[in-house]
Chain A
């Protein structure tokens, strides 16, 4: 704990020197607003500006795309694991599409779907899809064979085996995939708003950069970082509750 205090002190010193270099004119630049101005901008924009709406637009887009992506990913992953023939049929396509960096898919999707929410939700869903699909497939095909053998010995029906053995055994993998997807999907949400935006935090960020309102630009980055942090923390908390029985093998 003593160690952590030095770390917090370091952050305080860095912030303070940022503030001082800007206030005393050591660094005079449009791009170097004092920290206090950023925080003031954040508060003012939240209270009187449209920052709340901006965040709302980003979050709702993100949530919709993410949920669609992970559901599709889990369904495809399970299907691939349980029906090997389907996996053999469609895996090459997935393997071909997977290495494409998601932002590169924004331009063609703009052609098909325009620059509106539909395009953004689609690209977010596509991004969220792959890690969940791959992880689910791995988890569901790696269920401990003894459990399945025991179930067969007791003549457990296939539906029960799926619900009571395969699903719970796969859950940690699905969640691991979901957490990777969470970070990636947030990146892509911001990127799609930056490239083809009319609303959302990503658009706001680029707008403030063009308008040379650097304090508000940093405020937007702060908001994005806070979103990332909060989403990840919420996810970890949910994960601990859902799979409290699971201890990862080191």
Chain B
């Protein structure tokens, strides 16, 4: 406990000093309140949002879109990735197409998606699913192609059918790669959720941030950015926890 405190103390002190410095600078009029409100003001707004429960609506909207888009994109990517990893013909069929589509920054696809799907949820969920799809696919393919051939040959010798081979051997063996892809793509999915709400939004956290900026309600804008940061942080923790739960058998090299 004492050692932990000694380690965490310098960081905590610098953080408090920084916030205090901003507070004083704003109070002294060095920074315009219309640009950077005092941290305590932002904190108060944040507290009000939380206590009133106002935070729930927009947050639920954004998270629901992210959840649905992520589920669709990741599921399709895993299925396709396993198929591409297992059957070389499927790999040959789709690999060039994927290499063609992958480098497109998915944010650039929002305008055409708006043309086809309008500005509603369908467009937002599709763009999130697209952003999630490619990292998960690439990782799954990599994982599935790298499965120890002895495992596969053994299963075949024992008469395991291709579908249960995919499910029981290749899927678990590529799980560490799939999780790496998922961790990358959840961050990208959140980015796309925010972007699509900013570009064509009527609700959600991304919309609120840009709406508050346009309305010069700067404190609210910062409060929502803080909320978004917390969401991003918690999502990462969630994935890490899931990874530990499902991959307890896999020695992960420690990453910070």
Is the C-beta of A246 less than 8 angstroms from some C-beta in chain B? no
Is the C-beta of A183 less than 8 angstroms from some C-beta in chain B? yes
Identity of the chain B residue whose Cβ is nearest the Cβ of A194 in the assembled complex: B199
A5 CA / B92 CA spacing, docked (Å): 7
A101 CA / B231 CA spacing, docked (Å): 10
Chain B residues within 8 Å of A199, by CB: none
Q: Given A101-B232, A194-B199, A218-B112, A91 and B11 touching (CB < 8 A)?
A: yes
Chain A residues within 8 Å of B195, by CB: 103, 191
Q: CB distance A186 to B105 under 8 Å?
A: yes
Q: Given A31-B116, A221-B112, A228-B105, A88 and B198 touching (CB < 8 A)?
A: no
Chain B residues within 8 Å of A244, by CB: none
Bits for A185-196, please: 1 = Cβ < 8 Å to B, else 0: 011001100110
Q: CB distance B218 to A101 under 8 Å?
A: no
Q: CB distance B107 to A110 under 8 Å?
A: no
Q: CB distance B10 to A89 under 8 Å?
A: yes
What is the number of residues of chain A that contact chain B, defined by CB distance less than 8 Å? 61
Identity of the chain A residue whose Cβ is nearest the Cβ of B15 in the assembled complex: A92
A246 CA / B49 CA spacing, docked (Å): 51
Is the C-beta of A241 less than 8 angstroms from some C-beta in chain B? no
Chain A residues within 8 Å of B206, by CB: 103-104
A214 CA / B115 CA spacing, docked (Å): 9
Q: CB distance B103 to A228 under 8 Å?
A: yes
Is the C-beta of B236 less than 8 angstroms from some C-beta in chain A? yes
A126 CA / B71 CA spacing, docked (Å): 29
User: Pick the contact of A108 from B88, B100, B213 — CB < 8 Å?
Assistant: B213
Is the C-beta of B194 less than 8 angstroms from some C-beta in chain A? yes
Identity of the chain A residue whose Cβ is nearest the Cβ of B18 in the assembled complex: A93
A-B contact count (CB 8 A): 163
What is the number of residues of chain B that contact chain A, defined by CB distance less than 8 Å? 62
Shortest distance from the beta carbon of A135 to any chain B beta carbon, whole Å: 10
User: Pick the contact of A4 from B35, B96, B112, B228 — CB < 8 Å?
Assistant: B96
Instruction: Determine chain A's interface SS by DSSP, over half rule.
Output: helix
Chain A residues within 8 Å of B158, by CB: none
Bits for B211-244, please: 1 = Cβ < 8 Å to A, else 0: 0110000100110010011111100100000000
A31 CA / B195 CA spacing, docked (Å): 22
Identity of the chain B residue whose Cβ is nearest the Cβ of A230 in the assembled complex: B103
Q: Given A3-B89, A10-B93, A107-B209, A102 and B233 touching (CB < 8 A)?
A: no
Q: CB distance B198 to A103 under 8 Å?
A: yes
A207 CA / B107 CA spacing, docked (Å): 15
Q: CB distance B10 to A85 under 8 Å?
A: yes
Identity of the chain A residue whose Cβ is nearest the Cβ of B195 in the assembled complex: A103
A88 CA / B7 CA spacing, docked (Å): 7
A111 CA / B221 CA spacing, docked (Å): 11
Q: CB distance B96 to A11 under 8 Å?
A: yes
Is the C-beta of A48 less than 8 angstroms from some C-beta in chain B? no
Chain B residues within 8 Å of A10, by CB: 93-94, 96-97
Is the C-beta of B128 less than 8 angstroms from some C-beta in chain A? no
Q: CB distance B94 to A7 under 8 Å?
A: yes
Count chain A CB atoms within 10 A of each CB in B93, B103, B225 and give the residue with the most. B103
Chain A residues within 8 Å of B101, by CB: 225
A36 CA / B7 CA spacing, docked (Å): 63
Q: CB distance A90 to B225 under 8 Å?
A: no
Chain B residues within 8 Å of A145, by CB: none
B-contacting residues, A181-224, CB 8 Å: 183, 186-187, 190-191, 194-195, 202, 205-206, 208-209, 214, 217-218, 220-221, 224
Is the C-beta of B191 less than 8 angstroms from some C-beta in chain A? yes
Chain A residues within 8 Å of B232, by CB: 99-101
Bits for B161-179, please: 1 = Cβ < 8 Å to A, else 0: 0000000000000000000
Bits for B2-42, please: 1 = Cβ < 8 Å to A, else 0: 00000110111111001000000000000000111000000
Is the C-beta of B79 less than 8 angstroms from some C-beta in chain A? no
Q: CB distance B225 to A92 under 8 Å?
A: no
A4 CA / B187 CA spacing, docked (Å): 32
Q: Using A104-B194, A224-B108 as known contacts, list a sample of 19 further A-B pairs with CB atoms less than 8 Å apart, ordered by residue number in A.
A: A3-B93, A88-B8, A93-B15, A93-B18, A97-B229, A103-B107, A103-B191, A103-B206, A104-B225, A108-B221, A138-B255, A183-B105, A190-B105, A195-B198, A205-B108, A214-B112, A224-B104, A225-B101, A225-B103
* 7 A-B pairs with the lowest CB-CB distances in the bound complex, closest first: A3-B92, A99-B232, A228-B103, A107-B213, A7-B96, A92-B11, A209-B111
